[in-house]
Amino acid sequence: MELVLLTFLPLLGALAVLCTPRAAEGLQRGIALATTLAVAVLGVKLFLGYDVPGGDGAATPYSFSLPWFQLPWRDGTPTQVHFSLAMDGISLLMVTLTAVLMPIVILSTWGHVEKRVKEFMVWMLVMQTGMLGTFLAVDLVLFYFFWEVSLIPLYFLVGIWGGEQRLYATVKFFLYTLAGSLLMMVAIIAILFDRGTSDLGELIAQLGQTPLEQQLWYFAAFALAFGIKVPLLPFHTWLPDAHTQAPTSGSVVLAGVLLKMGTYGLLRFCIQMLPDAAVAAAPWMMALGAIGILYGALLAWAQTDLKRLIACSSVSHLGYVVLGLFALTPAGLSGGMLQMVNHGISTGLLFLLVGMLYERRHSRALDAFGGVATVMPLFALFWVFTVLSSAGLPGLNGFVGEYLILLGSFQSSPLWSVIGLTGVIFGAVYLLMATRKMLFGACTNPENQRLTDLNAREIVLMLPLVVLAVWLGVRPNDFMGKVEPDLAEVGRRVAVARQSTAALEPVTPLTEGVAAR
C-alpha cells in the first residue's frame, strides 16, 4: 500500500493545487513543497525500511497488485493486465532519488517561475507521479502508461515556461520520444500476444523460451525507445535543445530523473527481461556508449552556451552508464546503477547553479561572464565542488561509479573501456574550460561586478545534494548494499545466457581467493 501512497500522493497534491484560486501563488507553492517533502520523507522511509530479500529471491517486501483489465488473446482466453507496483533493488535508488530531488526542484522555482504558478506546480506534481509509477510498475502495460504520463507534463513545462526557442525544442522532444515509445508499445503488444502475460516477473521467467531472433526484435524496439530517452548516440539531438530551453527546474528534473528512466528501462527490460538478446547486442551497445562518451565530451567542448554545454555533458555521462550496463559484468552493472544516481546529483547541481546565475544575469553565454569568483565566492565554491563531482574526483560520488564502470567494461571489452577512459580526460577539459571562462580571470564587465552571492534559500536547496555527493563518494556501500543482491541476480542470469556464446577466459588471478583489501 505504501507504494500506491508514494505514487499517487503527488497527484493528490496536484488536485489540491488545482482547487486553489489562481492568485494564491504562495499557497500553491506551499502545497507543492509540502507534498513533495511528504513524498521525500516517505521515500526515505521506504529506502531505510527496505529489507534485502534473503537467499534465493524471496518476494520483494513492497508490492501491490490489482487486476486491471483484460485483453483478448488466443482461443478465447483473455490475458489479464494488472495494476502492479513493486520495489526491488533495481528501482530502489531511482525511486528514492526521484522522491528526494523533487522538493529541491520545487524550492528552486521561487526564483524563476513567476507567471502561471498554479499550472506549473500541477504539471510538476503530475510528472512526479508519472516518474514514480514508471520506476515502480512491474506490469508492462502499466509501465507504458506511466511512461507516457511523465512525457506530457514536460512538454508543457518547456513549452510554456521555457526560453526563446521553447516551442521548437519541446515539439522536437515530444515527437522524438513519442516515436520511440510507439515502437515500444508495438513490442509490448507483441510480447502480450506471444506470451499471454504482461507481468514482468512471469516474463522474466518465460521469455528465455522465445527464439533469439524474436527476442532481438523486442530488444531493438525497447532499446530504441529507451535509447532515445537516455539519450544514446545517435538519438541524442533533442537533449541539448530541450535542456537549453527548459526552465531551470525543468532541466533539473529532466537531467535528474527523466533521463534515468531510459537507463532504468534498459536495465530492467533489455537486460533483465531479455538477457539472451542483451548478450548478443552488448558489443553494439557498449560501442555506442563509449563513442557517446567521447562524442558528448567533444561536443561539450565546442559549446558557448553554458546550459547547452552541461546538456552535452549529460550525453557523455550517460554514455558511461550505458557502457557499464552493457558490459554485463557485476562491476559494470553496479557501476551503471550507481552512476545513474550520481549523474542525477551532480548534473542536477550544475543546472541549479547555472539557473542561479541566469536568474541574476539573464544570460547563459560563457563569454558574458568572467571573474565571477571574485564577486561570488560561495557560488564559486559550490561550482568547483560540483565540477569535481562531475569529473569524478576520488572521494566524491562520481569516481566510484566511473571506476566501477570502466573496470567492468575493461573486463568485457578493453577496447571500449579505453575509449571510454578518454572521456576522463576530455571531461576535465570542457568542465575546466567552462569554469575558467566563467569564474576565473579579471572581473571587468560592470554587469558582473554587480552580482550578488548565493542567498540562504539557494544554499539550503543545494546542501542535501552536496551532502549526498560526499556521502556517496565516501560510503557508497550504504546505498549500494541494498541494491547489490538484485543486481547480482541479473548478473547471474546474464552469465547463464552468456554460456552459449564463447566467452573470453579471464587471466587467472595470481591470488586466488585472497580477500582484496
Partner 1 sequence: MPSHESHAWLWWIPLLPLLGSAIAGALHLATLRARHGDPQASAPASLAPWIACGAMLGSFVLSVTGFLELRELEPAARHLASTAHDWISIGGLDVDLGLLLDPLSSVMTLVITGVGFLIHVYASGYMKGDKGYGKFFAYLNLFVFAMLMLVLSSSLLGVFIGWEGVGLCSFLLIGFWYEKGWPAEAAQKAFVMNRVGDACFLIGSFLLIRLFDTLDLATIAHTVGSTVSFTDEQALDMSLAALFLFGGCCGKSAQFPLFTWLPDAMAGPTPVSALIHAATMVTSGIYLVVRLNPLFAASGWVLPLIAIVGALTALIGGSTALVQRDIKKVLAYSTVSQLGYMFLALGSGAWAAALFHVVTHAFFKALLFLGAGSVIHGMHEEQDMHKMGGLRKHMPQTYITFLAGAAALSGLPLLSGFFSKDEILAHAFANGGLYYGLWAVGALTAALTAYYTWRMVALTFFGEERFDHHHVHPHESPLVMTLPLMVLAVLSILGGVLGLPPVLHVPHLLAEWLAPVTDAGNKILAQSPGEHHLSHALEWVLLGLGSAIALGFAHTGFHAHRHGTAQDEFFARKRPTLAATLGDAWTIDSRYARIIVLPLRMLSFLIAVVVDQFAIDGLVNGTGRTARDIAQHSRRAVDGSLASYALWMGAGALAICALWMWS
Of 355-374, which residues contact partner 1 (CB under 8 A)? 371, 373-374
CA atoms within a 13 Å half-sphere pointing along the CA-CB vector of 40: 15
Show the site string, 168-207: x = touches partner 1 by CB under 8 A, - = not: ----x--xx-------------------------------
Closer by beta carbon to partner 1, 259 or else 327: 327
Using rule CB under 8 A, residue 412 touches partner 1: no
- In the chain, count H helices and then E strands: 23, 2
Q: Is 70 helix (H, G, I), strand (E, B) or coil?
A: strand
Of 489-508, which residues contact partner 1 (CB under 8 A)? 506-508
Using rule CB under 8 A, residue 230 touches partner 1: no
Closer by beta carbon to partner 1, 182 or else 418: 418
- DSSP class of residue 515? P
85: left (phi over 0), alpha (psi -120 to 50) or beta: beta
The three cell numbers locating residue 475: 560510503
The three cell numbers locating residue 284: 553494439
Q: Please say whether the dihedral angle defined by the alpha carbons of residues 22, 24, 30 and 35, taken in this order, is positive or negative.
A: negative
Q: Say if residues 251 and 105 touch (Cβ distance below 8 Å).
A: no
Of 372-411, which residues contact partner 1 (CB under 8 A)? 373-374, 377-378, 388, 393-395, 399-400, 403-404, 406-408, 410-411
Closer by beta carbon to partner 1, 17 or else 93: 93
Is the omega angle on the peptide bond into residue 234 within 30 degrees of 0, that is, cis? Answer: yes
Using rule CB under 8 A, residue 4 touches partner 1: no
CB of 232 to partner 1, least distance (A): 12
User: Which of the ranges 93-101, 203-211, 327-335, 457-465 carries the binding residues for partner 1, by CB under 8 A?
Assistant: 327-335
Show the site string, 88-127: x = touches partner 1 by CB under 8 A, - = not: ----------------------------------------
Closer by beta carbon to partner 1, 223 or else 338: 338
Closer by beta carbon to partner 1, 40 or else 368: 368
Closer by beta carbon to partner 1, 193 or else 284: 284
User: Which of the ranges 37-45, 98-106, 213-221, 328-336 carries the binding residues for partner 1, by CB under 8 A?
Assistant: 328-336
Using rule CB under 8 A, residue 255 touches partner 1: no
Using rule CB under 8 A, residue 272 touches partner 1: no
- Locate cell 569564474: which residue? 439
Longest dimension (CA), the chain: 78
- Segments in 362-451 forming alpha helices (H): 372-375, 377-391, 397-412, 414-439, 446-449
Q: Is 235 helix (H, G, I), strand (E, B) or coil?
A: coil
Using rule CB under 8 A, residue 331 touches partner 1: yes
CB of 458 to partner 1, least distance (A): 16
Give CA separation, 161 vs 254, 318, 355, 359, in Å: 14, 26, 13, 14
Of 304-323, which residues contact partner 1 (CB under 8 A)? none
User: Which of the ranges 5-13, 16-24, 57-65, 420-428 carries the binding residues for partner 1, by CB under 8 A?
Assistant: 420-428
Dump the DSSP string for 24-43: -HHHHHHHHHHHHHHHHHHH
Q: Which residues does 243 contact at the CB level (< 8 Å), separation at least 6?
A: 251, 254, 255, 307, 308, 310, 311, 314, 351
Using rule CB under 8 A, residue 221 touches partner 1: no
CB of 377 to partner 1, least distance (A): 6
Dump the DSSP string for 176-197: HHHHHHHHHHHHHHHHHHHHS-
Using rule CB under 8 A, residue 219 touches partner 1: no
- Count of residues interacting with partner 1 (CB under 8 A): 75
CB of 341 to partner 1, least distance (A): 12
CB of 479 to partner 1, least distance (A): 9
- Locate cell 528512466: which residue? 261
Of 431-490, which residues contact partner 1 (CB under 8 A)? 432-433, 436, 439-443, 474-477, 480-481, 484, 487
